[in-house]
Each structure stands twice: as structure tokens, then as C-alpha cells.
């Protein structure tokens, strides 16, 4: 759900700026993956 809301917000904010839209999505996904990996390692 968070990703869906992020995409909607980014689409509004970066309507004509695909580079920043993609960058912000990538940062979100990277953060989620890092947190998941961190938890999986038991930290």
C-alpha cells in the first residue's frame, strides 16, 4: 500500500520529470529492501 501511495504522489509531483520520479521510487524500494535484509540477518 505504501508503494502505491508513493507512486501516486510522485506521479503528481514529477509529472513531467521521469528521472526524478524513477529516482524517488528507487530510493523507496532500496530502503525497503535494506530493512528487510537487516531484519533477516536478525539485527
For residue range 12-38, what is the model confidence (pLDDT) as tens digits? 999 999 999 999 999 999 999 999 998
- Given a cut of 70, whether residue 43 has pLDDT beyond it is no
- How far is 14 from 35, CA to CA, in rounded Å? 26
Model confidence at 41: pLDDT above 90:
no
Amino acid at each position: 500500500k505504501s508503494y502505491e501511495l508513493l507512486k501516486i504522489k510522485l506521479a503528481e509531483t514529477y509529472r513531467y520529470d521521469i528521472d526524478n520520479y524513477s529516482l524517488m521510487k528507487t530510493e523507496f524500494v532500496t530502503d525497503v529492501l535494506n530493512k528487510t535484509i537487516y531484519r533477516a540477518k536478525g539485527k
